[in-house]
Amino acid sequence: MEYSEQFNYNRRKCAEVKIGNLALGGDNPIRVQTMANTDTNDVEKSVEQCIRVIEAGSELMRYTTQGVREVESLKAIRTIVSERGCAIPLVADIHFNANAAMLAARYVEKVRINPGNFVGGIKKKGDCTDYTDAEFEQEYEVLKTQFVSFLNICKEHGTAIRIGVNHGSLSERMMNRYGDTSQGMVESCMELLRICREEDFGKVVISMKTSNTVFMVHTVRLLVQQMEKEGFYFPLHLGVTEAGDGEDGRIKSAVGIGALLADGIGDTIRVSLSEDPEFEIPVATALVDYVDNRKQHALIKGMEHLSYNRFQYERRETHAVKNIGGENPPVVIAIEKGSYPIAPDYYLENGKVVDANGGAYTVYENSDIIEIENDNSDLIFLQLQYGDLTPELLTLLYRKKNIVILLQTAHVNGVGEQRAFFHLLLNAGCTVPVVICRRYAESALGNLQIKAAADMGVMFIDGFGDGILPENEGVISSQSICSIAFGILQAARVRISKTEYISCPGCGRTLFNLQESIARVKERTSHLKGLKIAIMGCIVNGPGEMADADYGYVGAGRGRVSLYKKKECIERNIPEEEAVEKLLVLINKDRADKEM
């Protein structure tokens, strides 16, 4: 039996990049960062917020930088922050404006660009597929010329860059060739990395971001594989865009970022919450510290299933036992009977698993083979850990089709051990359904949200798991624990039980009160189970980042909002005070049309 990287936690090896006085990547700790939501041109407020995030523990601070005016403001912020004795590196966040990137590189330690900043030449509209190879190459040459000019300025001033590729905002050229796909995002990044190599420029950090956790995880994994093939070892920045606020934002971020950290991928992270940036830092720090505890864990032996694909979602094939496994969505088992906002499928009572109709099902241990053999109930549960699965038990699981496994782990790298269990089942051709179980001892709800989401969400992204059962010793209510379970399944996109909100954290481009708008939209739409509603501060994080939302509420100007259905703008420049009501009218009209 071998020691697989899939089952054992090790940080990915990468080059060290200096961003001002901060060393990132290499053997350095995973760095925590955030982004201002102030108007960059309000220098005083931007400086004060920077001081607050430093006090909260942030190691980098990013500001939206739309144009020359914002660059000048950022220059002033840099001067004042330094005068106040704060050495935090500042990052200019560029969208659309290559000239702003070139100017900002003279004044701050790092510039974040999107490959689309440096496109030009041939302009095509729509979803056409008629780019010839010559046209594709011609536009690449325009991009390369601009990008090399930018790199030369960065070399002169010692400025680092982040190549940040966001889902839904690929250049038209890349969309034409690859579509809005993981491959398109990866190639968009690799194209610039190859230029960096040609120009001997190594101060590069990379990010691949999307609000879809499954797409994000698979895309970053694909990028890492491609980078290794071509000998690139740049550090990676992780984040889930538009994660939202409150519990949903924390769980969604921990599911997406935690899945990649579990793979050993990631050198800096940002948890993007629709809250003030100082509230992002404790969440990010807790997540990094939790995964970092897996270092130097006891090695886990196991053999990967040869046909398993880490780069796309495919649910493990299982047979159904009642409503568990098969084509059924993953079930939720609550720790006790009670009243829940979303009803669990089962709950624990007196050592048994009980369904909504009062049916009680026995939970067996691995030593109870004789009792299991003689139990012909339509559903029984078998509690196991990785090392419990003997050949004798496997034979039993092949023969009896009424068993569901409750998979526990006490390993410090529980993600790795539970992965090894699923690969063992895959290698054995065993289709028994499995409920993923984890036990915690947390008194703070936020810590439980982060840890459970980081541990359990990745299992569902990997295609494993037919149910979920988080348990906790402490003061946290069973209702809160059950809510976390449903939140993890929704964040991993395997079971939708409530409205999903894709909301950006806000920045200097946001021209209305984003947090109040989110609260109003949620208050009026939270009953619409299964809908995805995007709430975006501006057009930059609008249609592109809400690519798979059903409806969009997007900032269009000061106090103005535009409404979208999918990617189509339905109504523009609505006064903010009327926008929520008009969004409801749009949704209700569509629902009525579907019912006709």
Q: What is the mean pLDDT of residues 211-223?
A: 95
Q: Write down the pLDDT at residue 127.
A: 47
Residue 544 has pLDDT above 70, yes or no: no
Alpha-carbon separation of residue 270 from 35, 266, 545 (angstroms): 8, 11, 17
Residue 319 has pLDDT above 80, yes or no: yes
Per the model's pLDDT, the better-predicted residue between 224 and 505 turns out to be 224
Residue that is written with structure tokens 């990094």 in the block: 288
**3-class secondary-structure state, position 450:** helix
Q: Write down the pLDDT at residue 121.
A: 46
Q: Judging by beta carbons within 10 Å of its beta carbon (0-12, 13-18, 19+), is residue 591 exposed, middle or buried?
A: exposed
Pick the range with the lowest mean pLDDT from 2-6, 16-20, 244-248, 532-536: 2-6
User: d(Cα 191, Cα 193) in Å, to the nearest integer?
Assistant: 6
Query: Crossing angle, helix 514-525 and helix 576-595, to 10 degrees?
Result: 30
Q: How do strand 380-384 and strand 551-557 relate by DSSP bridges?
A: unpaired
Residue 505 has pLDDT above 80, yes or no: no
User: d(Cα 438, Cα 421) in Å, to the nearest integer?
Assistant: 14
DSSP 8-state code for residue 243: B
Residue 222 has pLDDT above 90, yes or no: yes
Residue 393 has pLDDT above 60, yes or no: yes
Q: Could you report the per-residue pLDDT of 428-471, keeping only the tens digit for each?
A: 999 999 999 999 999 999 999 999 999 999 999 999 999 999 99
Alpha-carbon separation of residue 214 from 158, 177, 209, 532, 558 (angstroms): 36, 23, 11, 16, 34
With contact defined as beta carbons under 8 Å apart, do 93 and 315 qualify? no
pLDDT band at 229 (very low <50, low <70, confident <90, very high): very high
350: left (phi over 0), alpha (psi -120 to 50) or beta: left
How far, in whole angstroms, is CA 502 from its chain's centroid?
A: 12
Q: Write down the pLDDT at residue 563.
A: 85
Q: Write down the pLDDT at residue 566.
A: 80
**Which amino acid appears at position 263 of this protein?**
D
Q: What is the mean pLDDT of residues 205-222?
A: 94
Q: What is the mean pLDDT of residues 406-435?
A: 97
Q: Write down the pLDDT at residue 137.
A: 87
Residue 507 has pLDDT above 80, yes or no: no
CB atoms under 10 Å from CB of 378, counted, come to: 10
**Which amino acid appears at position 84 of this protein?**
R
- Mean per-residue pLDDT over the chain, rounded: 90
pLDDT band at 541 (very low <50, low <70, confident <90, very high): low
Q: What is the mean pLDDT of residues 188-212?
A: 95
For residue 485, give both structure tokens. Answer: 């379970």
Q: Write down the pLDDT at residue 398.
A: 94
Q: Could you report the per-residue pLDDT of 49-84, keeping only the tens digit for each?
A: 999 999 999 999 999 998 999 999 999 999 999 999
Alpha-carbon separation of residue 530 from 197, 315, 470, 527, 544 (angstroms): 45, 20, 23, 9, 21
| CA-CA-CA-CA torsion sign (42, 45, 47, 53) | negative
Q: What is the mean pLDDT of residues 495-516?
A: 73
For residue 134, give both structure tokens. Answer: 């010559």
With contact defined as beta carbons under 8 Å apart, do 152 and 103 qualify? no
Q: Write down the pLDDT at residue 125.
A: 47
Q: Write down the pLDDT at residue 573.
A: 84
Residue that is written with structure tokens 């539970």 in the block: 418
Q: Could you report the per-residue pLDDT of 108-142, keeping only the tens digit for each?
A: 999 999 887 776 544 554 445 567 888 888 888 98
With contact defined as beta carbons under 8 Å apart, do 584 and 525 qualify? yes
Residue that is written with structure tokens 């990631």 in the block: 266
Q: What is the mean pLDDT of residues 568-572?
A: 83
User: d(Cα 580, Cα 371) in Å, to the nearest integer?
Assistant: 59
Alpha-carbon separation of residue 131 from 96, 135, 147, 175 (angstroms): 22, 6, 22, 10
Residue 243 has pLDDT above 70, yes or no: no
